[in-house]
Amino acid sequence: MEQTVTHNTKWWSGGKSPFNIEYGKIMMWYFLLSDSFTFGAFLISLGTVRFGLNYWPEPSIVFNTFPFAGHANLPLAFVSVMTFVLIISSVTMVLAVHAGHNRDRKGVEKYLLLTIIGGLIFLSCQAWEWTHLLTAKNPVLVGDHIEVMAQRNGFNPWGEIVLPQDVAPALAKTSPETLATLVHEQHLSHASHAELLQTPKDQLIQLLSNSEMVVRKPGPAAFGGFFYGITGFHGFHVSVGVILLIIMLIQTKMGVYDRRGHYLMIEKIGLYWHFVDLVWVFVFLCFYLV
Amino acid sequence: MSDTLHIQHGVASHGHSGEPHVHHHKETFISKYIFSMDHKMIAKQFLVTGIIWAIIGGLFSVLFRLQLGFPDQSFPILETFFGRWAEGGKIKPEFYYALTTMHGTVLIFFVLTAGLSGTFANLLIPLQVGARDMASPFMNMLSYWMFFAASIVMLSSLFTQTGPAAGGWTVYPPLSALGLASQGSKSGMDLWIIAMTLFVASQLLGGLNYISTILNMRTKGMSMTRLPLTIWALLFTAILGVLSFPVLLSGLVLLMFDRHLGTSFYLSDIFVAGQALPNEGGSAILYQHLFWFLGHPEVYIIIMPTMGLASEILAINSRKPIFGYMAMIASLMAICVLAFLVWAHHMFVTGMNPFLGSVFVLLTLLIAIPSAIKVFNWITTIWRGNIRFTPGMLFAIGFVSIFISGGLTGIFLGNSTIDIHLHDTMFVIAHFHIVMGVSAFFGMFAGIYHWFPKMFGRYMNNTLGYIHFWVTIVCAYLIFWPMHYQGFAGMPRRYLDKSSWVSFGQFHSLDAMITVVTIIVFAVQLMFVFNYFYSMYKGRRVRTQNPWEATTLEWTTPIHPGHGNWDGEIPEVHRWAYDYGKDGRDFIPQTEPVGENESSH
Amino acid sequence: MSQHYDPTKDISPSAAYPEVSFAHHTDDATFKHRVKKTTLILTLLTIAELALGFTIYALHKGEPSHAALLLIKGVVCILTLAKAYYIVSVFMHLGDEIRNFIMTIVVPLLLFIWFIIAFLADGHSYKTMRNQYDRYFKESTTPSGHPVIPSDVHKFSSQKGQRQ
């Protein structure tokens, strides 16, 4: 700490770094500042569109599933796992940077590997969530009948709940295939989907109207676009981060930084990785919490 | 020195993160002129690319002015060159819109952003702060090549079957989001978005470099308050770019999604050819907000570097210190901050909340204060100065004149009540062309004439320079002054043919005059380009190290500085950059230690 | 200061970057303690956010008051900002940098205040205007007031469990 004392006077007088940081780190910081405006613009756009609409789906009805848990209603459970994974990967990144400060090559390798694993787990979680949302079969009232729809970038199945007295006439006008799929999806019968297709329409309607099936109107289309757009853009950042970390790991193993005498590159990529975590904190807020 | 790479790792030079260096490295043609990492060469690359784009963009304006000035006449030569875009020698509506759109895009982004701050930030920052090169020469090189890639993509869009983007340089959706809407919204629009994305990347790489070089790599003694105003202006320009371009990027990414992935960010309740589109819930105003969050800082990105260049040139050539140095910095800073807060004054009539509009009026009018401070300080700088009327100085004075004329009309447009009448009329065209188009060009010309000796070790031809100045300033006023009257009379901008309005008939001959003057001024700019390239090889040689007798560091380098700028040690700085006419001396360089009996400034 | 940097002779970072004094080293124990503490804080904040998220969820089964929802969501936003503060300050070591540098990062972020206010205010005014002048928009998108989440959803899922 003694050396900083000499810098305490005239930070701006030139001839030395006024911030006591090497230029690469300064550039990384300002790049992240700039990138925060990219993400900020996305999230603020989401807010603007949302403030411009009378209805917006509650996150807890959209994100309520968990892998291997079937149709159990577990709002926010999966995304908390994802958030936690990212926070932990941030912690291992901090440890990797610290090991770099101490020029502890083994430590750097270990923590980088853990961080990479964390990043990959996060990406897998995101892949599962996207797949689930894109393939789900939600009953939606379209015009006068019910259709089975997934969450798409141009279509949102989570509008308002259709009241029971309005569901009945809609069921009557729904195609037998859709009815069969609905009965199958809601687990209202032990018959297979093929068998259900042979079942008379009245019987299927009977099963469905006695069930607790929630039918919704189509919701605001912008929801899906923003969700896939923003989480996709964030996922893209994570993927870039993972690739960079893998390159760092290889270079560490090859002894590049030992030869260079410092692990500043790990520090810079570390900043990027924490930033990705930071962005997720806000994505989490805007999509899953409020 | 010119063919050796000689980077010294000293206090203010650390362009690389510790890789071993070859101290005397033979440069090849490719590493010296093409993939060069020397900031001076990159500056020249930006300038030459900018000049080429300026000729293209200027030519476009001549073409659409032909239509506006002589709507009844046909020009068979147009059909020879443009084929079906100008059948029978008449410019087609699609062609007209493509021309105006590309004229705006090219001149605003490719000439006055990349060509202007790319040139002078690269040339002047390391030279004036006393650094061997930029913080990261490699990223600097990448910045140019990203710009080059953007240029190629944008240029290629001109040659597509359906033509380039044609929805105005602001590319508002829904027109730009729906390929069905117009010819210019098809593949040309995609290429426009891709080119602009590359352009944003280029600006980011450049901007990060400029900021970290200015903050981190100043030579010994070069405190922030000893920096020339050029550097301050370029610093704020870079900050504006780094913080606002990403917002444009976001807006364009969403636009691309709307175009190709069926999303509804900007689209809602739209019918095309009687068919309702499924898009629902988006907001076209959102795009305008995102666009102008960049778009407004963008006009300051264009004008601020020229403010810095003019300040420097005015002080040098009137042999007086700049008036109100700290006030100049403070007003630059105020402009920089306000630039981010006023974007929606471009949107008063879009259906934006009128109350919000009134807040934007207030913030907008605040910009008049720092702008007025700057103008006042420029005038008091040359007041009773010992003025040397070099071509650079003439253009700098012209810059001030034009900036005042254009700035005053901004006060009209900044008031939402008056804007309702003037919006989308020729008045707007006149305002922004004068205040950021012509005046930025004047600043740029001033900079080129002034620093040409540093770039090439030769002077540009003075006589041609004087002709260039006088014809350009007279023509600029002849073109844009009448447009104010047209605007007051309600004449709309963007219209191909106004002959169906009887009331605009009175402007027929005025429009014809404007077109003729446009052709003249375009020809004179070609003369400038000739002067530039001719002087590069045949111009009068610079014999002294400091031809303008200036105080700043770039004139302490050799006449032909190599990569690394100074042969020996980097000079140390002892004073501010504006010691002119002090204690009976004409000028005192920044490198001269402060004498014992020297008066303080 | 050596004029020609030779990597084979001196490989310390201060030789590569002579203008930087690299004073950020802290001893291992303090550092580990700090990281542990921050991780704990981040975890607790996330749990608190989730708890509030569930509260919102529970409220939506009834007819929640607008003010209560707004209050909870406001608290969640503040908690998120706290999380961001810890990540940036401790994990990214911004807190250890020189004050001037912190300011160059934080001051530009203040632009977000007006950025957010203006955009959201205009989004809101767009809604108000459309509700006023576009009857179709108002009628087709205004929620009719019944709960967003069916209150018997738990019963439903447990029934399903039995069927499986």
pLDDT tens per residue across span B26-82: 678 888 888 999 999 999 999 999 999 999 999 999 999 999 999 989 999 999 999
C→B interface, C-beta within 8 Å: 1-8, 15-19, 104, 108, 111, 114-115, 118-119, 121-123, 125-126, 129
Contacts of residue B204, Cβ cutoff 8 Å, sequence gap at least 6: A31, A34, B241, B242, B245, B246
The set of chains that have 3 or more CB pairs under 8 A with C is: A, B
Stronger pLDDT, B529 or A145, i.e. the higher one: B529
- B456, B48 in Cβ contact below 8 A? no
Cis peptide before B228 (omega within 30 of 0): no
My answer on whether A84 and A171 are in the same domain is no
Taking only the tens place, the pLDDT of each residue in B263-290 is: 989 998 888 888 888 888 889 999 999 9
My answer on whether A67 and A129 are in the same domain is yes
Q: Which of A38, A220, A222 sits opposite B249 (nearest CB)?
A: A38
Q: What is the pTM of this model?
A: 0.91
Calpha distance B308→B328 (Å, rounded): 9
Q: Is the dihedral of CA B292, B296, B302, B305 positive or negative?
A: negative
Q: Residue length, chain A?
A: 290
My answer on whether A264 and A230 are in the same domain is yes
Do the domain assignments include residue A16? no
Is domain B37-268+277-577 classified as CATH 1.20.210.10? yes
Do the domain assignments include residue A123? yes
- B147, B49 in Cβ contact below 8 A? yes
- Residue C80's nearest CA partner among A286, B38, B396, B94 is A286
Calpha distance B82→B89 (Å, rounded): 9
Whole-number pLDDT of residue C25: 57
The DSSP 8-state label assigned to residue A183 in this structure reads H
Do the domain assignments include residue A3? no
From A92-106, B128-142, C51-65, the region with the lowest mean pLDDT: C51-65
Backbone φ, ψ for residue C20 (5° rounding): -115, 140
pLDDT over 70 percentage in chain A? 94
B→C interface, C-beta within 8 Å: 8-12, 14, 17-21, 23, 215-216, 239, 243, 283, 285-286, 289, 293, 340-341, 344, 351-353, 355-356, 359-360
Q: Residue length, chain C?
A: 164
| C57–A75 C-beta distance less than 8 A | yes
Do the domain assignments include residue A53? yes
Query: Structure tokens of A272?
Result: 């990027």
| C2–B18 C-beta distance less than 8 A | no
Whole-number pLDDT of residue A280: 95
My answer on whether A244 and A193 are in the same domain is no
Q: Does A50 touch chain C (CB under 8 A)?
A: yes
Residue A117 pLDDT > 70: yes
- Stated as kind and residue range, the H or E segment containing B581 is strand B580-582
**B271-272 and B275-276 beta bridge pairing:** antiparallel
3-state secondary structure of B271: strand
- A38, B250 in Cβ contact below 8 A? yes
Backbone φ, ψ for residue B468 (5° rounding): -55, -45
Calpha distance B413→B392 (Å, rounded): 31
Tell me the H-state helices in chain C. Answer: 13-16, 28-59, 66-86, 99-109, 111-133, 135-141, 153-163
- Residue B8's nearest CA partner among B601, B595, B599, B571 is B571
Work out the minimum CA distance from C13 to partner chain B, whole angstroms: 9
C17 neighbourhood in chain A, CB within 8 Å: 17, 22
Taking only the tens place, the pLDDT of each residue in B517-538 is: 999 999 999 999 999 999 999 9
Whole-number pLDDT of residue B311: 96
Q: Is B511 left (phi over 0), alpha (psi -120 to 50) or beta?
A: alpha
Do the domain assignments include residue A15? no
Total count of domains within chain A: 2
Average pLDDT, chain B: 91
Do the domain assignments include residue A157? yes
- C112, A40 in Cβ contact below 8 A? yes
pLDDT over 70 percentage in chain B? 95
Contacts of residue B95, Cβ cutoff 8 Å, sequence gap at least 6: B82, B85, B86, B163
Domain boundary among A210, A233, A248: A210
Complex confidence, ipTM: 0.91
Q: Which residues pair with A161 in a beta bridge?
A: A216
Window A:253-282, CB contacts with C under 8 Å: 259-262, 264, 270-271, 274-275, 277-278, 281-282
Whole-number pLDDT of residue C164: 34
Q: Is the dihedral of CA B101, B103, B104, B108 positive or negative?
A: positive
My answer on whether A169 and A25 are in the same domain is no
Q: Does A163 touch chain C (CB under 8 A)?
A: yes
| C16–B17 C-beta distance less than 8 A | yes
Residue A184 pLDDT > 90: no
Q: Does A31 touch chain C (CB under 8 A)?
A: no
Taking only the tens place, the pLDDT of each residue in A11-55 is: 455 667 778 788 889 999 999 999 999 999 999 999 999 999 988
Q: B357 pLDDT band (50/70/90 cuts)?
A: very high
pLDDT in tens, chain C (164 residues): 334 433 333 334 444 565 565 555 567 788 888 999 999 999 999 999 989 988 888 888 777 788 888 999 999 999 999 999 999 999 988 888 888 889 999 999 999 999 999 999 999 999 999 999 988 888 877 877 667 777 654 444 334 433 33
Range of the domain at A171: 137-210
| C19–A15 C-beta distance less than 8 A | yes
Residue B563 pLDDT > 90: no
3-state secondary structure of A104: coil
C114 neighbourhood in chain B, CB within 8 Å: 340-341
The DSSP result for B121-176, as a single string, is HHHHHHHHHT-SS-S-HHHHHHHHHHHHHHHHHHHHHTTSTT-S--STTTT-TTTT
Calpha distance B47→B115 (Å, rounded): 5
Q: Which of A13, A22, A34 sits opposite B223 (nearest CB)?
A: A13
Residue B93 burial by Cβ neighbours in a 10 Å radius (0-12, 13-18, 19+):
middle
C2 neighbourhood in chain B, CB within 8 Å: 9
Count of CB atoms situated within 10 Å of the CB of C28 = 11
Backbone φ, ψ for residue B343 (5° rounding): -55, -35
Residue B9 pLDDT > 80: no
Tell me the mean pLDDT in the region B307-336.
96
My answer on whether A53 and A112 are in the same domain is yes
A163 neighbourhood in chain C, CB within 8 Å: 146
Work out the minimum CA distance from C123 to partner chain A, whole angstroms: 5
- B203, B300 in Cβ contact below 8 A? no
Do the domain assignments include residue A13? no
- Residue B381's nearest CA partner among B367, B365, B399, B368 is B399
Stronger pLDDT, C27 or B430, i.e. the higher one: B430
Do the domain assignments include residue A45? yes
Q: B442 pLDDT band (50/70/90 cuts)?
A: very high
Question: CA separation (Å) from B128 to B48, B121, B228, B566, C73?
Answer: 22, 10, 7, 12, 51
- Closest residue, chain B, to A48 (C-alpha): B286
Calpha distance B43→B49 (Å, rounded): 10
pLDDT over 90 percentage in chain B? 79
Convert B451-517 into a string of H (helix), E (strand) and C (coil). HHHHHHCECCCHHHHHHHHHHHHHHHHHHHHHHHHHHHCCCECCCCCCCCCCHHHHHHHHHHHHHHH
3-state secondary structure of A221: coil
Work out the minimum CA distance from A129 to partner chain B, whole angstroms: 19
Q: Which residue has the tokens 């050819």?
A: B273
Calpha distance B120→C68 (Å, rounded): 56
**Distance from first CA to last CA of chain B, Å, rounded?**
38
Contacts of residue B273, Cβ cutoff 8 Å, sequence gap at least 6: B180
Residue ranges of domains in chain B = 37-268+277-577
Residue B192 pLDDT > 50: yes
Calpha distance B41→B434 (Å, rounded): 31
- Stated as kind and residue range, the H or E segment containing A182 is helix A176-185
Query: Structure tokens of B285?
Result: 């105003």
| B244–A13 C-beta distance less than 8 A | no
Whole-number pLDDT of residue B25: 57
- B127, B197 in Cβ contact below 8 A? no
